Amino acid sequence: MKRIVLILSILLVLSLACSVGSTPPKLSDIDQVATIVAATMSVPNGIRATEPPPPPIDETATVVISPPPTETVGEPTGVKVAYVRDENIWLWEEGVGARQLTNTGGVSNVQISDDGRLIAFTEQIDLWVVSTDGGDPAQLVDQAYLASVPHNSDVVGTPHFASYEFIPGTHTLFFDLFMDTDSYPFSYGGLHRVNADAPLPTQVLLEGQSGDRYYSPDKQWVALSQPNHIAIMRVDGSDYRVFFDFDPILTYSEYFFKPEVIWKSSSDGFYLALPPPDFLGNPSEPGRFWYIGLDGRVAQLAVFLSGPVWDAIPRVSPDGTKVLYVKEVGEGREIHIVDASTADTVFIASADDSVGILGWADSDHFGFWYGNIDKPWYATVSEHSQQDLTDIYPTLEYSVYWLEDGRLIFKSQQELRISAPGGPSMVIDAPLISLDFDVAE
């Protein structure tokens, strides 16, 4: 699933107690338990603006829904990586190499279309697009439009893009906004859309209705993850509805946790892993593994006791059959996997708290770190085994991007690299100061 570029960073301070050498950590025995354990929280791939709870919505307000995007785009040939080097956009194509696309400087937050033909980015706060075939960038959305967007607050500040991405299979982008104020970033203005081939930005949803976006495999639906509910709508902006409510997950910070949505391959439902709502207030309350069908069916698949949400986010596997999470055990941590049958497996046990998960590569493999955050491992669930994830260290934890063919892209020092898990890696480009890239494959 493509990453969504999120523009304000939230930094997690991780305290590391020890380091690991070349010998893999010893695996624990497999525990089978009827009720499970785990919870977590961490920043999703990318960067995010902190967001206060959604303000009350004026149900009588009218939003004009623009016509749905009708264009479809073809599939790219080979992997294409759009990235920022020296504040300009570059494109690396597998088998071709790297080339520079802009030379004005000041660009950030790149997003590439599914067909690899267009790259969206921000420059001087405005939203732009450039063709990977070359040519001058074109402006999509300017500050005048952002300033014209109404909002339900008296907060005064400078408007910015909070997040944007191409709707899968199209050249149309969804985007939402935040206001940079003297106190904290304030999310405002709902959800908007602009077609990069014929730029005319329009509002799609009211303030308080947007959220982190997850697209169904058939490209017909988008789930909108909020701190207390999941809403869905069609990608043309129609049929919006709040679909599943839950208690907000307390983080004891400005960060509002929004759960990751994993769609069924059939696009007729999705899965969630919710950490316990208040770990400090009630550490015995479990997290919950849910299935929500578009037909209205809701099923709790498993429960799991968990560590604090700020330690690690519980991750549902791409096939929706299991949840990966971290559990506190005394002063130590364990990486667990629980499935819908409520069978629980202890995969890695650590005597200290220096354990974390990097997410699923596919439904049988995931990345994790143990003792040393710069030294990641690659686990095979079916074999209960692990190996080195990369051939060079340090590997920046939040730089790992899993490709559909099983390979990964990651950053080490100032080098962006590509490799198979544990295999020799190849430098895409260097030196790169920022971690700002997106992939079409």
3-state secondary structure 291-345: EEECCCCEEEEEEEECCCCCCCCCEECCCCCEEEEEEEECCEEEEEEEECCCCEE
Sorted by sequence, the CB contacts under 8 Å of residue 183 that are 6+ apart come out as none
At residue 107, the pLDDT reads 97
Q: For residue 372, how far is the Cα from the chain centroid?
A: 23
Distance CA 337, CA 102 (A): 45
Neighbours of 131 (CB within 10 A): 14
At residue 60, the pLDDT reads 37
Q: For residue 152, how far is the Cα from the chain centroid?
A: 27
Residue pLDDT tens, the chain, 441 long: 444 433 333 333 333 333 333 333 333 332 332 222 232 333 333 333 333 333 343 433 333 334 444 455 555 568 999 999 999 999 999 999 999 999 999 999 999 999 999 999 999 889 999 999 989 999 999 999 998 998 776 777 888 999 999 999 999 999 999 988 877 788 889 999 999 999 999 999 999 999 999 999 999 999 999 999 999 999 999 999 999 999 999 999 888 999 999 999 999 999 999 999 999 999 889 999 999 999 999 999 999 988 888 888 999 999 999 999 999 888 888 999 999 888 898 998 877 778 889 999 999 999 999 888 889 999 999 999 999 999 999 988 889 999 999 999 999 999 999 999 999 999 999 999 999 999 999
At residue 72, the pLDDT reads 52
Structure tokens at 26: 């010893």
Closest CA to 361 of 427, 416, 424, 420: 420
Closest CA to 81 of 362, 408, 433: 408
At residue 69, the pLDDT reads 45
Distance CA 106, CA 91 (A): 17
Contact 151, 188 (CB under 8 A): yes
At residue 174, the pLDDT reads 98
At residue 155, the pLDDT reads 74
Torsion of CA 88, 103, 74, 238, to 10 degrees: 70
**How are beta strands 229-234 and 221-225 bridged, if at all?**
antiparallel
At residue 308, the pLDDT reads 84
Sign of CA dihedral 212, 214, 220, 226: negative
